[in-house]
Every structure is written in structure tokens, then in C-alpha cells.
Amino acid sequence: MGHHAGVTDAHPSPLPPARVPAEAYDEHYYRATCGGFEEWTSSEGRQGAAIYAVVLDRAGFRAGQVLLDVGTGRGEMLAVAADLGARLALGIEYAAAAVALTQETLRARGVDGRAHVLLSDARRLPLPDASVDMVTMLDVIEHLTPAELDLALREVSRVLRPGGMLVGHTFPTRTIYDLTYRCLRLALPRWRRSWPVDPRVDEERLMHVNEQTVRGLRRSVTRAGFPGADVHLGQMVYTAFLPSLSARRLYERLAQHRLTRPLAVADMWVYARRPDSSPVPRGATGAVTAVMSRQ
């Protein structure tokens, strides 16, 4: 989330360093770990996971709109939006490795004239007010501390046009680790002796600085200026971290029932609209184009 020179006049005070340094997100992370890497790596960037098109379809993205993808990773979302007729698809990344891979994706997909990526900071978006129609934040939320997330969501609200849509996804939830897993570990003496206290891998401990609950994420989104946000559990049941087959089966059973789903479902979605209560500044889209022309 490096500082972007194009906004120094509007934001004179420097940002504090990000909790997770940009260098942690190296090329190996995006090629071998970050979600969707299998499709991207096997096709050398020409194909991406199906989820990106599904997200845009469910959110009602339309040809001619401007999309901003915060934390664009390898840039698959930008390529899909461009293929769907986006007037402009713009990605924000603070990791140099991600910017380079996104450029590779856009070239491989033949959309590098209609989609672009900026090395910038989610907490300080280099775009004018009310200049984009939709913002996507897929598996970014858990990588931002609560304070960083608050700043990023306020920036999203600022750059969205009135009525514009924020679509977010986060994985994993805090509950599957800190509540369900802990209770299961203590349930049987043999599990308490053999299971690790914390089931997270080193990468999660480094990068996942803000795992969410539905209630907590709803508060954050509402606080940023999105009243009435729809924050709900997804469908993902993640059990790979569980040492016991019986525990994995239990998670799967818990996920099948309404009252116990929060204990086992591992992901969350947020759909939120900026209130349609203020006029769009004249020339906002042109200002986005101007930002791009300075890159």
C-alpha cells in the first residue's frame, strides 16, 4: 500500500507504514499461494478462476461502467471487467510483484488498452470523488488492520458515485479458528494434546491481521458510510487445517444448519451501495482518465 505521488496535494500528511509490508507479497505468493493461482499459472495468465465473472454478474456490473478493483492481485478481475465492456477497469496494488503480474495478465488477455493497474495504497486512492461505478475488494479485508480497513472503506465511499456498489469478500472468518476450533480442541484430551493451539499457517499469521465476523464487518462498512449494507456468510467450508477426519466431518455438518452455520462457514460477502444523496461532480470520469494519463 505504497504512497501515490498523484494525491500529495489533497493528502499532505504521510501515511503510517502498513502493518503487512508490501514485500511480503512476492511473486511466489501470487504464483503459488494466492487464491486462483492454479488457473492463472497453468494458463500463463490467459485464464482466471470463474469467480470473477460470477461476482460481477451478481453485482449487476454493466458495460460502460468504471470498475475499481482494490487489491487486484494478478489482475484477473480487471481482465474480466474489460471483456464485459467496462469503460475503464482500474486496479490498485501496493505490492510491486502484483503490479508486474497484473500487467502480464492484461497483456496475455489482450485488454491492456482498456484495463490498468496503479502502484498505490488502499488507504489513499489516487482517484477523484464520485468517479467509479463499482469497487471490488476480494480477499483484501482480512489483510488490513481495523484502522487500515476503516481508511480504505472511507476512500471507497469517497470515490464511488452515488448509488455505486461495493462488493467485498473475506476468508477465513475469525469464528472457525478462534471459537469452533478452540472448543473442539478442548473437547477431547487426545485432541488437546496433539492439536496445535493455533491452527493457522505462518503466512496467515503474517498476513491475516483482521479476520472478521459478520457483525464486526457490518459495523466497519456502516461506519464508512454504507448504511444498510448486506453482510452475510458465504458457502465455503474450509477444513484442511483440521488434524482429525471426524472434526472435518463435524464442520461440514455444522455448515448445513442455519443456527450452526456461523461456526463452520469460512467466508463472508458484503454488498453495499453508496447512498444516492449527493450530486456527481462534473467531469469525474474525465478526471480518472487524467490520472491514468499521468502514469
Length of the chain, in residues: 295
pTM of the model: 0.90
* Segments of the chain scoring below 70 in pLDDT: 1-12, 277-295
The model's pLDDT over 266-293, given as tens digits with 9 standing for 90+, comes to 999 999 999 986 544 444 445 555 555 5
Query: Which residue pairs, CB below 8 angstroms and at least 24 apart, start in 30-35?
Result: 30/73, 30/74, 30/97, 30/98, 30/101, 31/101, 33/203, 34/73, 34/74, 35/139, 35/171
Q: What percent of the chain has pLDDT over 70?
A: 89
Query: Please, are residues 91 and 118 in contact by the beta-carbon 8 Å criterion?
Result: yes
The full 3-state SS of 167-180, as one line of letters, equals: EEEECCEHHHHHHH
Cell numbers 470523488 correspond to: 129
The set of cell numbers assigned to 270 is 458484503
Q: How far apart are CA 277 and CA 152, in angstroms?
A: 21
Ordered domains of the chain (ranges, CATH): 5-293 (3.40.50.150)
User: Residue 287 has what pLDDT?
Assistant: 53
